[in-house]
Amino acid sequence: MTSPDLPAELKAALDGKLRGFSRNDAAGRAASISKTYRDGGGSGAIRSETDALAYALARMPATYAAVTASLNALVEVRPDFAPKNLLDVGAGPGTATWAAAEAFPSLRDFSLLDANEALRTLALDLARDSTRLHGIGYERGEARATLTKAGTTDLVVASYMIGEIGDAEQRALAELMWEKTRDTLLVIEPGTPAGYARIIALRERLIALGAHIAAPCPHDGKCPLQTPDWCHFTQRLQRSRAHKQVKGAELPFEDEKFAYVALTRSPLAERPSRVLAQPVVTKVEITAKLCTPNGLALTKVPRRAKADYSSARRWRWGDAVN
Ligand SMILES: C[S@@+](CC[C@H](N)C(=O)[O-])C[C@H]1O[C@@H](n2cnc3c(N)ncnc32)[C@H](O)[C@@H]1O
């Protein structure tokens, strides 16, 4: 399992970029970019080098943690998957590329694309001294137009990206990303009801085109959750000093909520159930909300079933369990 915290090379590159920048300026820009996101805007507010760095300092640790958690779930159900190349759609500062490089030592070739020049420049700067990533290819352009020209790739990732485009555009982009996927497509969104709704719409569309789910769902059927419930997970990550300063935060950690789906060309032989919330442990029993191959289940494991109880005590929200 890969750590959810930024790798040392990336931390060092971000610290290096931060030298010569005022942390107060970066904090001011990060607050204004966050407000744009909260008000439903996208990365269009990121225009300058300071904006891009402020975005990366404030958001990259959390989106990195969410991508890593999703990749860990994928690796757990597909331990033999060894992609050679990666396509990172809406790559921004290169977050998902860094996470995929950590998760898959097999990756040799990294292609990124994004419409935002300031984020592209930052991504190339951050990767410049990296052993694995110094040779990344990064195209600047609108996703669909750029993807149309791309070849097929073992692993395609779109992290916190599809929420920035309209519904019709999301449908077209989903199909195009799938067309360019040789093996696995991973899409990650914020863990809000709206992020989940986008994941579900993409999931249904691509299953209709022949995709199979590797994670988190243990089936290719309709999602059994009913509104107002929604499928999402959470990943804790440590905050560095710079991260705390830029966010004006006191706590040394934060919990990122995310929703994701990993779709593959071939069905998995076996799919474990998924823990959908933190299980409730009492002295009498453990109650766990599971998504199983047969639908939703509120599983109770009594203390008297000693072996089962002791393994269920280790279950965490997001785990794959049998
Ligand atoms: C919230 S950022 C996420 C960046 C990165 N994937 C991450 O996880 O940190 C969304 C990214 O999608 C890019 N984006 C949004 N719409 C796009 C489009 N139509 N074509 C290309 N890039 C787009 C933005 O420029 C931005 O870099």
Task: Decide whether any atom of ligand 1 lies within 6 Å of the 97 Cβ.
Answer: no
Higher pLDDT, 35 or 156: 156
Q: Return the residue whose CA atom lies nearest to atom 14 of ligand 1.
A: 90
The mean predicted confidence, pLDDT, of the chain is 94
Q: Is the pLDDT reported for residue 246 higher than 90?
A: no
Q: How far does the centroid of ligand 1 lie from the alpha carbon of residue 315, in Å?
A: 34
Strands (DSSP E) found in the chain: 85-89, 109-114, 137-140, 153-159, 181-190, 212-215, 233-238, 253-264, 273-275, 280-281, 285-292, 295-302, 320-321
Q: Return the residue whose CA atom lies nearest to atom 1 of ligand 1.
A: 160
Model pTM score: 0.96
Higher pLDDT, 98 or 249: 98
| pLDDT bracket for residue 20 (50, 70, 90) | confident
**Residue 37 pLDDT:** 76
Q: Ligand 1: which of 34, 36, 43 to mutate, most ligand atoms within 8 Å of CB?
A: 43
Q: What angle do CA 24, 29, 33 make, to 5 degrees?
A: 150
Helix ranges (DSSP H) in 39-166: 49-77, 95-103, 117-127, 143-149
Q: For residues 193-205, give the mean pLDDT.
A: 98
Contact 292/279 with Cβ under 8 angstroms?
no
**Helix (H, G, I), strand (E, B), or coil: what is residue 174?**
helix
| pLDDT bracket for residue 320 (50, 70, 90) | very high
Task: Decide whether any atom of ligand 1 lies within 6 Å of the 83 Cβ.
Answer: no
**Residue 250 pLDDT:** 84
Q: What is the 3-state secondary structure (H, E, C) of 97-123?
A: HHHHHHHCCCCCEEEEEECCHHHHHHH
Give the single-character DSSP code of 164: G
- Region at 99 (left for phi over 0; alpha for psi -120 to 50; beta for the rest): alpha
Q: Ligand 1: which of 6, 122, 156, 161 to mutate, most ligand atoms within 8 Å of CB?
A: 161
Q: How far does the centroid of ligand 1 lie from the alpha carbon of residue 43, in Å?
A: 7
Most confident of 24-28, 50-54, 171-175: 171-175
Residue 318, amino acid: G
User: Residue 253 CA to chain centroid, in angstroms?
Assistant: 18
| pLDDT bracket for residue 27 (50, 70, 90) | confident
Q: How far does the centroid of ligand 1 lie from the alpha carbon of residue 302, in Å?
A: 47
Q: Is the pLDDT reported for residue 109 higher than 90?
A: yes
Higher pLDDT, 127 or 248: 127
**Rounded-to-integer distance, Cα 319 and Cα 273, Å:** 8
